[in-house]
Amino acid sequence: MEKVINLIKNNYRLWLFYLAIATLFILELIVYINDRGDQTAFANELKHHGFFEYAIYRYQTWSSRLLIESVTMFMSGHYLIFDISFLVSTFLALYALSKIIFSEKQFLYGKYLLPIIFITVFPGVLFTSAGLIPTVTNYLFPLYALVIGWYLLNQKSYFSVLVAILAFAFAFMQEQFTVFGFLLIGFILIVEFVRDKKLNLRYLGAFVLTLIGLLSAAFSPGSAIRSTKEIATWYPGFDKLPLMTKILKGYLETNRILFVSAEINALFALLLVLIILTVIKRQWLSTFAGGIILYTLIINKLEMSSLLTAIQKTVDLQNTKDTLYFSIKDNLYPLILYTALLVTIALITFFLFKEKLAGLSAVVILLAGYATRMLVSMSPTIYASQLRTYIPLIFAIFLVILLLVREISPWIQAKYPLKQSQK
């Protein structure tokens, strides 16, 4: 009991701050709760299906997401429970992430910056395309489960590890987060094996769950049925496209959203943090390169002529042609420029870290996040899924921003001391 009292005494300010930010975030999103979306159809399913029955039904007829589908159905018919669950899970995820990234005392600034960065890079509009409840249950709830599971996996208690496995099992029912987990946990396993000459059995168990998630998504009867219907609705002839064409089309569309239409706040936030840190660390070449990229995005957003103007013209020309048409020659300029931008951002990120393993980890996180969006290249909804399919990528960018804040926190704390009252 004494430990609990001391924990509350030493952390109550931080907890109240996280609760306030979580409440603000929920209030922002609830504004969109009555907008037209899929929750109406899901709520109607409550009349015909039980909770677990619906998971099996959807697995056989539409989606491999199993319990995520059941949670979506349940929450669509119980708005108050959704609101409370959303608030509690947001608070827990923010706190868990602070314990993962900023566990040491010298990272007090990072602990308080974390929720502010969160609400900056995850604006409410991200969660509206399919309706608020379905988007939150299909993207944010798995994200939260991944974070909470990650935190619990590193605790000493076997009960915590059990809950972590259950949280991971839920998170990896969402195929994009399964890919993210597969790449990130696989990387952690390799690093720890090289360092310790033995496998971390806890992470190995989590990695096995990602493999099960991938196999479940690949062999779900519902996924095949869904793909057939979506091809007819969204992209007739998509199944006839060569694999490389699908990948290149996905690459171009992903980067169009990131750089040309520039609809992802997180990218601007990342570039701003990169520039600030390169100035602090006096990496002037990186400052110049990052500044050029940020300047290009801003003036393009203001509809002024830039390096990205020609890409928009290429996109406009592509829109006049048959959807099955693709030419590398026609898209050579955007392919080269996008690749140069991505490589430059990755290199700036890598060299900002004093320890190269930390820099490599940050780049791997970005690659894992990018891979989750590239997964949509295999779907006929490649142009119809809207911004919600970027949420795992935004989460990856968010993590890297936090790692960069962690990198510079000791410098900030030394220059602007903040009294430590939390453990």
The string of pLDDT tens digits covering residues 207-266 is 999 999 999 998 999 888 988 888 888 888 888 889 999 999 999 999 999 998 878 899
pLDDT of amino acid 113: 92
Residue, of 325 and 285, whose pLDDT is higher: 285
Res 101 pLDDT > 50:
yes
**Count of beta carbons in the 10 Å neighbourhood of residue 195:** 9
Question: Residue range 4-31: average pLDDT?
Answer: 82
Contact predicate 122/264, CB 8 Å? no
Question: Distance between the two ends of the chain, CA-based, in angstroms?
Answer: 17
Res 172 pLDDT > 80:
yes
pLDDT of amino acid 317: 83
What is the gyration radius of the CA atoms in the chain, in angstroms?
A: 22
Residue type, 340: A
Report d(CA 406, CA 274) in Å as an integer: 13
Q: How far is CA 367 from the centre of its chain?
A: 12
Question: Residue range 30-49: average pLDDT?
Answer: 86
Report d(CA 392, CA 178) in Å as an integer: 10
Question: Domain residue spans in the chain?
Answer: 1-171, 234-423
Dihedral class, residue 39 (left if φ above 0, else alpha if ψ from -120 to 50, else beta): alpha
- Which band of pLDDT confidence, cut at 50, 70 and 90, is reported for residue 423? very low
Contact predicate 132/39, CB 8 Å? yes
pLDDT of amino acid 5: 54
Render the burial of 335-362: b for 16+ CB within 10 Å, e for the rest.
bebbeebbeebbebbbebbeeeeebebb
Contacts of 122 (CB under 8 A, 6+ apart): 25, 266, 391, 394, 398
What is the tens place of the pLDDT at every residue in 301-355? Answer: 888 888 998 898 888 888 778 778 888 888 999 999 999 999 999 999 999 999 9
- Which band of pLDDT confidence, cut at 50, 70 and 90, is reported for residue 4? very low
pLDDT of amino acid 422: 42
Maximum Cα–Cα distance across the chain = 70
**3-class SS string, the chain:** CHHHHHHHHHHHHHHHHHHHHHHHHHHHHHCCCCCCCCHHHHHHHCCCCCHHHHHHHHHHHCCCCCHHHHHHHHHHCCHHHHHHHHHHHHHHHHHHHHHHHCCCHHHHHHHHHHHHHHHHHCCHHHHCCCCHHHHHHHHHHHHHHHHHHHHHHCCCCHHHHHHHHHHHHHHCCCHHHHHHHHHHHHHHHHHHHHHHCCCCHHHHHHHHHHHHHHHHHHHCHHHHHHHHHHHHHHCCCHHHCCHHHHHHHHHHHHHHHHHHCCCCHHHHHHHHHHHHHHHHCCCHHHHHHHHHHHHHHHHHHCCCCCCCHHHHHHHHHHHCCCCCCCCCCCCHHHHHHHHHHHHHHHHHHHHHCCCHHHHHHHHHHHHHHHHHHHHHHHCCCCCCCHHHHHHHHHHHHHHHHHHHHHHHHHHHHHHCCCCCCCC
Res 152 pLDDT > 60:
yes
Residue type, 349: T
